[in-house]
A = this chain, B = another copy of it.
Amino acid sequence: MIELVLGGARSGKSRHAESVIRSCPGPWTYIATGRAWDEEMAERIALHRADRGDGWVTVEEPVDLPGALEKAEGQPVLVDCLTLWLTNLLLENHDIATATDALMQIMERRMAPLVLVGNEVGLGIVPENALARRFRDEAGRLHQRVAAKADRVVLCVAGIPMTIRRDA
């Protein structure tokens, strides 16, 4: 079972994703892709960790997400989130297509439950900043590819998970 959980800022994405993984027998692995670039980011990461509670093995992996998933094979895994992973790939000049291909291969082989969280960022006005435009395009492409390999895709709005695709 692979689920992609999309949503806007503070839409309840992580909480929903955690509840999906918690419904599986543990131990649960949490792959945190965020880098604490600045204080605001460090605070967000700490807040998320406190919200999460006990019972999680946390793995911090800002770049090699496919590798981290391979190591956690056989365990329920929550990836939080694709957006920060993509940010790191972009800012550190990794090849995004290659990294996404590797993620696709892992997803194809994956048997244990996997939930991936992503920020939907493409529904506002076109950003004036060229890097933000590129990021928005890359995020859209990544979400499309991950969605195509997921058994269920959910969009969270105001804390409510709307199922937008579920395979029988």
The reply to whether the CB of A123 lies closer than 8 angstroms to some CB of chain B is yes
A133-168 vs B, CB cutoff 8 Å, 1 = contact: the mask equals 101110111011011100001010111101011000
Cα distance A148–B158 in the bound complex, in angstroms:
8
The reply to whether the CB of A113 lies closer than 8 angstroms to some CB of chain B is no
Instruction: Check A157 against B6 for contact (C-beta < 8 Å).
Output: yes
Q: Interface residues of A toward B: which range?
A: 35 or more
Instruction: Check B10 against A137 for contact (C-beta < 8 Å).
Output: yes
Instruction: Check A10 against B123 for contact (C-beta < 8 Å).
Output: no
Contact A10:B160 (CB < 8 A) given known A120-B123, A127-B125: no
For A123, what are the chain B residues with a Cβ–Cβ distance below 8 Å?
A: 8, 120-124
Contact of A120 among B8, B40, B136, B139 (CB under 8 A): B8
Instruction: Check A122 against B159 for contact (C-beta < 8 Å).
Output: no
For A162, what are the chain B residues with a Cβ–Cβ distance below 8 Å?
A: 164
The reply to whether the CB of A4 lies closer than 8 angstroms to some CB of chain B is yes
Q: How far is the CB of A45 from the nearest CB of chain B, in Å?
A: 14
Cα distance A135–B11 in the bound complex, in angstroms:
13
- A–B Cβ pairs within 8 angstroms, 8 of them: A10-B141, A11-B144, A121-B126, A143-B159, A144-B159, A148-B159, A153-B158, A162-B164
